Copies of this chain bind each other. A is one copy, B any other.
Amino acid sequence: MTKARTEARTRRRGGELLRSIHAAVLAELAEVGLGRLTMEGIARRAGTAKTSLYRRWASPHDVLLDAIHDEHPEEAASPAADDLRGDLLRALQQLVAWMQTPTAAAAAAIVAERKRYPELAAALYERVFDARGGRFTLTVLRHYAAHGQIDARRITPVVADIGEALVLKHALDADAPPSDEQLAAIVDEAILPAIGLGLDRPVTAR
């Protein structure tokens, strides 16, 4: 076997091992919680030795941050410029899809326990949210403002948060993400009125 082939195989194995360690730390977190995450637990679940984890990471929380960072999806908003309502709806659907991933659950667990692990929470915001985040509906709103279809002055910090805030609140209360119909209600009854649109539409009585 040539040196190049050996290296390629080692690298591939390394990538596979890394992915299985990432999956292991997320699954372990879901089962035992942030306070009980251990190198032993992660290693057992990933089918590797504890010592090989310590070679790369100083603590279970370091493993977790790496996993969240690497598995974080890039947002892919591509507003069409002629369907504001549809683009807002699709932005919220992307958010809902992300919320159902193990990384989103891990991020939520860290935010929930930030008082206990402030450095971990700070690292999450710095290394993941600030680096990769952005707000789903904000991308769409800015796009339409740039095309002159929305008054840009209406896109305040509050207005930029309305969709995400309502999706989050719904998910917390119902322990399930909003349906497409509920997402449409968020767009029609909260986001569009806040940017000065949609008030002439009839509101569905419930």
Contact = CB atoms under 8 A, between A and B. Distances in A.
Question: How many copies are assembled?
Answer: 2
Contact of A190 (B111, B115, B162, B199): B162
Contacts of A151: 203
Interface of A: 30-36, 105, 108-109, 111-116, 121, 151, 153-154, 156-159, 161-162, 164-166, 168-170, 172, 175, 182, 185-186, 189-190, 193-194, 196, 199, 203-206
Given A105-B115, A156-B203, A161-B169, 19 more contacts: A32-B35, A108-B112, A109-B113, A151-B203, A154-B203, A156-B185, A156-B206, A158-B185, A158-B189, A159-B189, A165-B166, A165-B168, A165-B169, A169-B169, A189-B194, A190-B190, A190-B194, A193-B193, A193-B196
Contacts of A34: 33
Nearest to A105: B115
Contacts of A114: 175
Nearest to A205: B153
Contacts of A109: 112-113
